[in-house]
Structure 1
Amino acid sequence: MSIPQYGMVTCRPDQRPIVIITSNGYLELSGPFRRRCNYLYLRRKKTAEMAKILALKANADRNLALGIVLLVSKMTNLHYQPSLAEAIDYAKFLSQQEDILNWQTAFCLTCWPLATTCLSGAIS
Structure 2
Amino acid sequence: MTTEMISLLVFLATFAALLIAQPLLLARAKGMAYVTGNRADSVDADVPVAGRLARTVRNSIEAAVLFVPLVLATEVLGTSNALTHWGAVIFVAARVAYALLYPLGIVGLRTLAWNAGFAALAAMAFGLVSG
TM-score for both structures, normalised by structure 1: 0.31
Larger radius of gyration: 1
Larger RCO (CA under 8 A, 6+ residues apart): 2
In the superposition, the TM-score normalised over structure 2's length comes to 0.30
